[in-house]
DNA sequence: TGTGCACGAGTGGGAAAAAGTGGTTTCTTG
DNA sequence: CAAGAAACCACTTTTTCCCACTCGTGCACA
């Protein structure tokens, strides 16, 4: 079972290629033999999601099956399904991010790749740091979280 | 069961390596055979958390399982999971702090390592002393704490 | 009680290996 | 036929691992 952790600063070159860090590449190799699915994130943060293919294939039917009379559901479907792109790495372990997605997440040269357990998130560096600084807020948290002791 | 106490002033060299004090190294050796996980702290204090691996593996599933439609949960996950880095010591008992984390906690040369029972905290010396001065706070406390008699 | 020796902890640097980068050519597709 | 993508190759930079040195502490013996 895949388990992505940690954050990595990476660069995208002029052709839109980005080199997956070697550590992550290993995790991906064993999680999905390098077959990944890249898509847009649905929440207010404009980042991309990177799923190992098997993980995506668990999630995809669930999204498709949601009753879509609801507006939030339609939004989720349009973003997640409508942006999904299967990817494979080149011989140097790089992937080519489609312009649509590059644009959606405002990706320029400097990016951050963030491990989130089953998946990874891909952020523009600028937006990632902005997000870190911003939301220190005391949002209300669910009881499961209040009970945690770090 | 691990039980880290006390504080230690330590230095990080130019390559981002830091020597774990011998005393702590012994505790770590028996708690986790030297296998530790380093991650970011979730609250407003920008310090790092040092977990013995077994301790981290208790915590990690709990964090991953939180319902992440909630904003505070996503923040916690991005910080804790998204910064977690498994570490092993080199032959001299040093660990290499990843640049991302070094940056997050504003670590420069002089650091403080603070025992917190089942984990350790790693602070920039400057920020540690600043925090000591500042936080005399009269926050409101939970009933468990009110009941304490020191 | 003071001096010196020895061991262990901490520090720094250097060499080998691996990872990341950029460009060129070939292939595919519109 | 042109434009963009994929594959390949070669180079540069970073990382990692290991070894050697120094500093401080403690112990022993004079």
The series of mean pLDDT values per 10 residues for chain B, 150 residues long, is: 90 95 92 93 92 96 92 94 95 95 95 95 96 79 88
Classify residue B150: in a domain, yes or no.
no
Q: Which pLDDT value is given to residue A137? A: 64
Q: How many domains does chain B divide into?
A: 1
Place of tokens 């905290």: B121
Place of tokens 């640049």: B99
Helix, strand, coil percentages for chain A (3-state, nearest 5): 40, 25, 35
CA distance B124 to A42: 36
CA distance A43 to A45: 5
Classify residue A72: in a domain, yes or no.
yes
* CB-CB under 8 Å, B64 with A5: no
Q: Which pLDDT value is given to residue B142? A: 86
Question: How remote is the C-alpha of B88 from its chain's centroid?
Answer: 15
Over chain A, what is the mean pLDDT? Answer: 93
Q: Where are the beta strands (DSSP E) in A28-143?
A: 36-40, 48-52, 85-87, 94-96, 110-116, 119-124
Kindly tell me if the per-residue pLDDT of A141 is higher than 90.
no
Closest Cα of chain B to A144: distance in Å? Answer: 7
**B143 or A62: which leads in pLDDT:** A62
Q: Which pLDDT value is given to residue A77? A: 95
| Confidence band of A136 (pLDDT split at 50, 70, 90) | low
pLDDT for A87-117, tens place per residue?
999 889 999 999 999 999 999 999 999 999 9
Interval A70-77 mean pLDDT: 94
Question: b/e string for A75-93 if b means 16 or more Cβ within 10 A?
Answer: ebeebbeebbbeeebeeeb
Classify residue A121: in a domain, yes or no.
yes
pTM confidence score: 0.93
Q: Which pLDDT value is given to residue A69? A: 94
What are the chain A neighbours of B119 within 8 Å (beta carbons)? 150
Classify residue B116: in a domain, yes or no.
yes
Answer whether any strand D atom is within 7 A of the Cβ of A117.
no
User: Between A and B, how many residue pairs show a Cβ–Cβ distance under 8 A?
Assistant: 68
Question: b/e string for A106-133 if b means 16 or more Cβ within 10 A?
Answer: ebeeebbbbbbbbbbbbbbbebbeebbe
| Confidence band of A140 (pLDDT split at 50, 70, 90) | confident
Q: Which pLDDT value is given to residue A126? A: 96
Q: What is the DSSP letter of B70?
A: S
Classify residue B141: in a domain, yes or no.
no
A74 lies in which domain range?
7-135
Name residues 8-37 of chain A with a Cβ under 7 Å from nucleic strand D: 15-16
Classify residue A111: in a domain, yes or no.
yes
Mutation target to probe the B interface, by most B beta carbons within 10 A, among A5, A112, A113, A119 is A5
Place of tokens 């990476």: A10
Taking the alpha carbons of A128, A7, B81, A61 in that order, is the dihedral positive or negative? positive
What are the chain A neighbours of B85 within 8 Å (beta carbons)? 5-6
* Percent of chain A topping pLDDT 70: 97
Q: Which pLDDT value is given to residue A120? A: 97
What are the chain B neighbours of A138 within 8 Å (beta carbons)? 72
Which B residues in the span 122-141 are in contact with A, Cβ-Cβ below 8 Å?
none
Question: How remote is the C-alpha of A34 from its chain's centroid?
Answer: 15
Classify residue B145: in a domain, yes or no.
no
- Helix A22-32 vs helix A53-65: angle between axes, to the nearest 10 degrees? 70
Classify residue B142: in a domain, yes or no.
no
Beta carbons of A121 and B52 less than 8 angstroms apart: no
| Domain CATH number, residue A131 | 3.40.1550.20
Q: Which pLDDT value is given to residue A135? A: 66
CA distance B111 to A78: 48
CA distance A118 to B60: 12
Q: Which pLDDT value is given to residue A138? A: 65
Q: How many beta carbons lie within 10 A of that of residue A63, not counting itself?
A: 17
Q: Does A68 touch chain B (CB under 8 A)?
A: no
| Confidence band of A12 (pLDDT split at 50, 70, 90) | very high
């Amino acid at each position: 079972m895949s388990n992505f952790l940690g954050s990595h600063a990476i660069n995208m070159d002029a052709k839109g290629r980005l080199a997956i860090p070697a550590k992550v590449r290993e995790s991906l190799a064993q999680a999905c033999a390098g077959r990944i699915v890249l898509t847009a994130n649905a929440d207010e943060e404009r980042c991309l999601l990177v799923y190992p293919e098997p993980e995506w294939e668990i999630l995809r039917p669930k999204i498709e099956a949601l009753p879509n009379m609801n507006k939030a559901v339609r939004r989720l479907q349009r973003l997640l399904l409508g942006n999904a792109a299967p990817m494979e790495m080149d011989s140097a372990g790089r992937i080519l991010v489609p312009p649509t997605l590059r644009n959606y997440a405002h990706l320029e040269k400097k990016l951050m790749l963030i491990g989130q357990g089953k998946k990874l998130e891909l952020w523009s560096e600028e937006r990632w740091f902005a997000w870190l600084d911003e939301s220190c807020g005391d949002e209300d948290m669910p009881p499961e979280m209040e009970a945690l002791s770090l």
